[in-house]
Structure 1
Amino acid sequence: MKEAIVYPDGSVTIQDAAVPTPGPREVLVKVVIAGTNPKDWKWPTLMQRAQNSGDDVAGTVQEVGSHVCEFRKGDRVAGMHKYSRPHGAFAEYAIVSDSMLFHVPAGIGFEEAATIPLAALTAGYGLFHELGLPAPWDPPRSERTALIVYGASTAVGAFAIKLARAVRVHPIVAVGSSNSVFVQDYLDEAEGDALIDYRRHTSNESLATAIRDALADAGVPDGRALLAFDGVSTPDTYDGVLSRAMAGEGTPRAKIVVVLPVATEGNVDDENMELTSASCGQSFQGEPFERRFSLVFFRMLTDGLRDGWLRGHPYEVKSGGLEGVEAALREHKEAKVRAKKLLLSIGETPGLESQRQRRYCTYL
């Protein structure tokens, strides 16, 4: 098979490799669409090791391990490869754990499905594990719970909004830009939800005030939310804006969840505020209950797509199949990707025996 290897300097080579064999709890997926994420260039650089760093995958089951009971050959699936492990998504075939895979319902394209796994799982850990919101399989809270989501255009921020809406969290104040209009479908003005364009504010103080004003208009006492999800996760967002918007005294402490590996101690200048982090790596590096979370969460994604309360992220399919990996990751590195996921149609890779495959075949 063909496989794209990403080097620490950002260059990419396409090489021949043996088709991997799945372990007992693993599934071999014939990749139709691979998704890209900023971590796909960051991880080889951080580890200083060349690797197939793709993780978002959608395709069909080719082979299952001896202990896999929910999937069989030919199933349409999507899932997340365990990052830093061999046999990632930038290849004709990828290995995915059965607990990090979900069935793609008929009528949902592989392109849409490939936008979901990593970003949605990260959002799920942030909302339901770190912030303590009720998960979609739990009874909803009877009281209103205010939530700020910073980075509405990002895939992880948009999925945080979609999942929060699914569990009836209101009011949601989303911070984004003119690129974020697609999330309006998941915001309910009647419940006090609002979208704030950060570009209209010239200072962090002004933006923080706008957030508090929106929450106050929604009936939140003092306009102070106690929970925030930061899909951008820079000091300028979690300390410069969110800590100001959530400042206040008393208990419980306000909590901000970030999605990048930043130090959570001493990064917010407010003793009444807690900074915590969420990572999709919790699904295979964390405690047993964290790993079980991903198993249940991915089955829920099938339910959400089938019933219509969950949809994927806007996307663009880059040309050239695996030959498009380097250009796509360069766009991520140069921060040129806005409000969309960059995808790769593996069948478009020059020289593949499966060259005849076309994107119109991704639907049943």
Structure 2
Amino acid sequence: MGTKIKALVLQAKGGEQVVKEVDKPVPKAKPNAAIPGEIGDLLVNVKAVALNPVDWKQADAGFFIDAYPVTLGSDAAGIVEAVGEGITEFSVGDEVLAFTKLGVPGGYGAFSEYSLFEAATTIKKPPFFSWEQAATIPVGTLTAAIGLYHELNLPLPTENPSWFREEFILIWGGSSSVGSYAVQLAANTGLSVIATASPKNHDYLRSIGAAYVIDYNAPDVIDQINSITNNQLKYVFDIIGSESSNIGLKVLAPNGKLAHTSEGPTDTKDDVQIKRVVLGVAHRDTQGFLKTVNKLAKVIEQLLFEGRIQPNNIEVIEGGLNGIPSGLQKLKEGRVSATKLVAKFD
């Protein structure tokens, strides 16, 4: 019998998630693969996990789940305890954060005392971030980076881009986790960020780099955007849904680009590119996508160590693993705003 650890286990689609004893996972070696970058596993002693809407949606609907029983959770930070054979960029004792494999049984879920982190989507943790802060970073930053740099094809902030004239981007849902990281990344890239949020979050968005903040409920929201951009808006990143994506289409100039993380627009516009942002397929490596995510992870790591990205605001939920189900219910009911729920493990 192997060593036992505690993990939050989902037995069936739509079922209850319960803390149980499971076998401590063992990291796999780096396979012989043509994909550059670090693949293969790290075994990590998890110190904190962040909760995401995808966690309760997965549990309810069963998407991206390969088999049951399974441990969910994909946003975590901890200390490397073992390294899969052939992996060179990480060592035992490294403090790391990662987007972990979604819905893959066998020790990959983050809601566990120990989890397997795939090295390609793991980032070293700067020492000036707490475990709780670090756990908020991976999913939000990588999703934002995919939207900005892969789908909208913006230059990377580490390439020191410069614009010959003011260039705007509209980020709809700026106070969400993905939105707040998108605001920071876009500002680091040199764009003038227009973000939407409820008024209570306007000061926060300005503090992390938004040049303009608009109340998304304002009746003249379209006029405000057009006035700021002089009808020359080229980029929209929507984190909310179809209605806001439709507004994005309306305010985009000809040949503009729209990226969306949720439901896309129901309207159409002939001269606009529309791209869906999906981080969850990274570990399934569709068409070499893991290589892209690995590259972006290294960009984010550099920005973190340079102090150019700040973590989300956090709210620590009580009870460690046992507190996660009630935290997910709070997320499901829409009772979380401009804050990331985090569970800390002793």
Q: Under a length normalisation based on structure 2, what TM-score does the superposition of the two structures give?
A: 0.88
2:31 paired with 1:32: no
Query: Which of 101, 109, 113 matches 2:134?
Result: 113
State the 1:32 CA deviation: 0.4
1:144-195 deviations in Å (ceiling 9; x for gaps): 42210000110001111111111112x211111222422212336xxxx201
Partner of 1:291: helix, strand, or coil? helix
- The correspondence of residues 116-135 of structure 1 with structure 2, limited to 5 A, is 116-135=137-156
Partner of 1:96: helix, strand, or coil? strand
State the 1:235 CA deviation: 1.5
State the 1:139 CA deviation: 4.6
State the 1:276 CA deviation: 1.3
Paired residue type of 2:224: A
1:123–1:156 CA contact under 8 A, matched in 2: yes
For 1:83, the equivalent position in structure 2 comes to 102
2:79–2:93 CA contact under 8 A, matched in 1: yes
2:215 paired with 1:197: yes
Mapped partners of 1:335, 1:148: distance in 2: 23
Q: Under a length normalisation based on structure 1, what TM-score does the superposition of the two structures give?
A: 0.84
Partner of 1:299: helix, strand, or coil? helix
Mapped partners of 1:289, 1:180: distance in 2: 38
1:8–1:45 CA contact under 8 A, matched in 2: yes
Partner of 1:172: helix, strand, or coil? strand
Single out whichever of 74-83 and 171-180 deviates more from structure 2. 171-180
1:110-141 deviations in Å (ceiling 9; x for gaps): 11111010111010000000001001233514
Partner of 1:137: helix, strand, or coil? helix
For 1:13, the equivalent position in structure 2 comes to 18
2:47 paired with 1:45: no
For 2:180, the equivalent position in structure 1 comes to 158
Query: Which of 238, 249, 253 matches 1:243?
Result: 249
2:14–2:61 CA contact under 8 A, matched in 1: no
1:10–1:41 CA contact under 8 A, matched in 2: no
State the 1:293 CA deviation: 2.2
1:227–1:255 CA contact under 8 A, matched in 2: yes
Query: Structure 1: which 5+ runs fail to align?
Result: 217-222, 348-364
State the 1:62 CA deviation: 0.8
Mapped partners of 1:227, 1:107: distance in 2: 33
2:258 paired with 1:225: no
Paired residue type of 1:159: Y
Partner of 1:165: helix, strand, or coil? helix
For 2:125, the equivalent position in structure 1 comes to 104
Mapped partners of 1:107, 1:93: distance in 2: 23
For 1:208, the equivalent position in structure 2 comes to 222
Q: Paired residues, what number?
A: 323
1:242-288 deviations in Å (ceiling 9; x for gaps): 22222x5x4x2x2211112x4x6x72232233321111124323445
Mapped partners of 2:278, 2:204: distance in 1: 25
For 2:6, the equivalent position in structure 1 comes to 2
Mapped partners of 1:168, 1:12: distance in 2: 43
2:179 paired with 1:167: no
Partner of 2:237: helix, strand, or coil? strand
For 2:34, the equivalent position in structure 1 comes to none
**Percent identity between the aligned chains?**
26
Paired residue type of 1:244: K
Paired residue type of 2:44: V
Mapped partners of 1:208, 1:104: distance in 2: 40
1:3–1:90 CA contact under 8 A, matched in 2: yes
